[in-house]
Every structure is written in structure tokens, then in C-alpha cells.
């Protein structure tokens, strides 16, 4: 039975890594969320929606981002939430878990030395918490299944 999957990532490398995971979503009902307008069209990621970006340096931006995320998620009611980062993805995992969805975090391959700050937040709510670096996974108790790049 197809699942409703919410796949979310901020722009840049986070988004590119999420796009490389798309074959795993085949046969399911997927909605893509990101923070940069035009990005989903470049990757033919449909249906999609844009949410405001936020990060630790823009604390007030967390409120509109969180409100938009929650509204989208309440409408879509995902069975699974997956993110490759950053903070909007970690927030989506928290909302998803509260809604009863399974949650998956794949920490960015850019974090070769340690888990990202968003990844550390996601650890608390992710059913499956992964790093793309074996040594980082071992040091932090994350799962390792290789790199998407």
C-alpha cells in the first residue's frame, strides 16, 4: 500500500542529497518541501511547496517556518517524514512524529567530522537517525548505510 511521504530539505547540498534519494520514494504519494522558490522545478520534484527558511541565526524566522510547515503537514498527513537537513527538516520531523508519522533523518554528507546541529536536534525525534560518514555514525550512535553522493 502506498505511503504518503513528506520529503523536506533546505536548498543547496541538502536538497541535492534528498533528490538522490528519490528512487526510494517510487510508488508512494510524495510531496517535496524546500526553502528556495524554483528549486523543485529545476529537479522536476512535484508536487512541491515552499516554506520560509530559518536557522539558529534567525530565531524569529522559526515562527513563520513552523506555522507553514505545520499547516502543510496537517493538510497532507504524511505517514513518513524524511529530511537531509537543515533546521526546517528537523522541525518537520518533530511535527511528523507528534502526528504519528515515521521519521527519518539523513545527516548531510558535508558533516564529515560531526553531526550537524540540526541533526543533533533531529536525533530526539527521528525513528531512523543516519549519518553518511561511517566514523561519525559510530562516534554518535547513528545508523550508517553509505553515502548518497
- What's this model's pTM, rounded to 2 decimal places? 0.96
pLDDT tens figures, 49-63: 999 999 989 989 999
* pLDDT, tens digit (0-9, with 9 covering 90-100), for 78-92: 999 999 999 999 999
On whether residue 149 sits in a domain, the answer given is no
| 65 grid coordinates | 517556518
CATH classification of the domain holding 99: 3.40.50.2000
Give the domain extent around 92.
Answer: 4-144
Q: How far is CA 119 from the centre of its chain?
A: 10
Q: Chain-centre distance of CA 113, in angstroms? A: 20
Angle formed at CA 24 by CA 144 and CA 34, multiple of 5 degrees: 90
User: Rounded to an integer, what distance in angstroms lies between the CA atom of residue 121 and that of residue 31?
Assistant: 23
Amino acid at each position: 500500500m502506498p505511503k504518503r511521504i513528506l520529503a523536506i530539505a533546505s536548498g543547496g547540498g541538502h536538497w541535492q542529497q534528498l533528490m538522490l534519494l528519490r528512487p526510494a520514494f517510487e510508488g508512494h504519494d510524495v510531496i517535496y518541501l524546500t526553502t528556495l522558490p524554483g528549486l523543485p522545478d529545476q529537479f522536476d520534484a512535484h508536487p512541491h511547496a515552499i516554506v520560509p527558511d530559518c536557522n539558529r541565526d534567525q530565531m524569529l524566522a522559526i515562527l513563520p517556518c513552523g506555522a507553514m510547515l505545520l499547516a502543510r503537514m496537517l493538510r497532507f498527513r504524511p505517514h513518513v517524514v524524511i529530511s537531509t537537513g537543515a533546521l526546517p527538516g528537523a522541525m518537520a520531523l518533530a511535527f511528523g512524529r507528534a502526528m504519528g508519522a515515521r521519521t527519518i533523518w539523513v545527516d548531510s554528507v558535508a558533516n564529515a567530522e560531526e553531526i550537524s546541529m540540526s541533526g543533533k536536534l533531529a536525533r530526539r525525534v527521528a525513528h531512523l537517525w543516519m549519518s553518511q560518514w561511517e566514523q561519525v555514525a559510530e562516534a554518535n550512535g547513528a545508523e550508517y548505510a553509505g553515502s548518497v553522493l
